[in-house]
Structure 1
């Protein structure tokens, strides 16, 4: 019987499996064994951060209320493309996946392992508008078709709020075009709606903020929160197995001795404990844990 219990979180077998899962989901180049070993050498918190930084580029396909204020709807560019915008609007309202409307970079750009190793920075591979401003930008036609026009919007779990319709002149090679006056005016109008009596906001107008490495502050907070969950669960007697058995008793008033749990990150960003033996999943909701059957 092996009585050795690893002290370091990264040595836990359940965490090592989670690291493998995260790395398989992170697009990176070169896709070599050496590059994978480099990523595996990172703390689980770092890998959670990198995963979230890439995953947040793709809004979850859930039904959202679509809102475009009158000033945006009366824009001649918006009126000219009303039919195409209407098709996109319907997909958003019924909760279809609109990932194909995102920029090619969201689909094709991978983490440059060599560049990241040298600079410890994400500057060359981030979505500038999303990380710094907090806004998504979508073309008016899905891949492989593209349009010069782009719809910029704030996307929350229940709202798709259009900031404006612009052309790709909004972007230079590696930054926002400071001479693109229309965007600045649209942001000012958005902030006037959000703070009608004045006020301040932190980070970009849509809530975007970057950390010192050029990635998202949202990813930093997400990483910290979920690493704490991992540490708390793995420190429980018998680790993930023992904690899962405890959850069955607390949530379902059910006693079980046999479980086969593993950590997973769901598409909606929840960190899950999935018990493959009993077909249940659990997740932390604030300070409480929730659970449900899955098939």
Structure 2
């Protein structure tokens, strides 16, 4: 992995500069999102549409290509960088190749997957007091039986409650004007519900305004 030094340097600079890291993420979320209709064609597989390592370990993985493909994402690399990412921190966990996502034909873990789990377990142990229970999962809140992180389920419940409470007030012009900055209230507000990453809010494209009503679980 010595040959990846320029790739790592470029990626870390991108992180330090606070640039958008979305182009470096896996494309799996785009190709394998939640599609209930697909389940009707075969047996249910609760992990088929989810990023197992993100949901269970809370770790993102980033491709390290130095060039951009036609659709804007960084060129794919066999080696990927795993990191714990919050709003304020970016903690590098390590470099792994794609065998970290695979299992052998007999169901056992590949050596690279075992190395990743060993690294994750050591990190968990270092951040846990003796006798302290660790639930794991995204944000350390555990995983539901459906395979969704508890943190994301709680956020979805909170967002649904906010929408129910706010939606009736969107017919009140006075309330709508109160959402905008005092110096940026358009004559004809046109708000729609929108997500910015995992943050829920109201968006007015023409006014270039996004008002966050609830930050996401990240």
Question: Cα distance 1:201–1:158, how it changes in 2: closer, same or farther (>3 A)?
Answer: same
Indicate if the aligned counterparts of 1:131 and 1:208 stay in contact, CA closer than 8 A.
no
Contact kept in structure 2, 1:245 and 1:259, CA below 8 Å:
no
TM-score by length of structure 2 reads: 0.71
2:91 pairs with 1:161: yes
1:126 maps to which residue? 50
Q: In structure 2, what is the equivalent of residue 140 of structure 1?
A: 64
The aligned counterpart of 1:105 is 28
Cα distance change on mapping 1:86 and 1:199 into 2, 3 Å: farther
Question: 1:177-219, CA deviations, whole angstroms, 9 ceiling, x for partnerless residues?
Answer: 3654322331233224433666332233863743333333333
What pairs up with 1:202-213 in 2 under 5 angstroms? 202-204=135-137, 207=140, 209-213=142-146
What residue in structure 1 maps to residue 72 of structure 2?
A: none
- Find 1:232's aligned residue among 145, 159, 165: 165
Q: Is the 2:159–2:214 Cα contact (8 Å) retained in structure 1?
A: no
**CA deviation string 1:111-145 (max 9, x = no partner):** 44422457776521111111122111122226653
Q: Does 1:272 align with 2:201?
A: yes
Kept after mapping to 1: 8 A contact 2:82/2:93: yes
CA distance in 2, matches of 1:218, 1:281: 23
Give, in whole Å, the separation in 2 of the partners of 1:249 and 1:123: 43
Matched position secondary structure for 1:81: helix
Supply the distance in 1 between the matched residues of 2:139 and 2:95 (Cα, whole angstroms). 16
Q: Equivalences for 1:190-209 in 2 at 5 Å?
A: 190-195=123-128, 199-204=132-137, 207=140, 209=142
Q: Give, in whole Å, the separation in 2 of the partners of 1:150 and 1:199.
A: 31
Task: Show the 5 A alignment for 1:31-180.
Answer: 77=1, 81-116=4-39, 122-141=46-65, 145-172=75-102, 177=109, 179=111, 180=113
Q: CA separation of 1:252/1:80 partners in 2, compared to 1, >3 Å: closer, same or farther? A: closer
Deviation per residue, 1:237-287 (Å, 9 max, x gap): xx4122x52364598789x9x76443321324332234679876543358x
Are 1:221 and 2:154 an aligned pair? yes
Question: Taking CA–CA contacts closer than 8 Å with sequence separation of 6 or more, which of the two structures ends up with the larger relative contact order?
Answer: 1
Structure 2, unmatched stretches of 5+, are: 70-74
Deviation of the 1:154 alpha carbon? 0.5
CA distance in structure 2 between the partners assigned to 1:226 and 1:158 by the alignment: 22
TM-score, with length taken from structure 1:
0.55
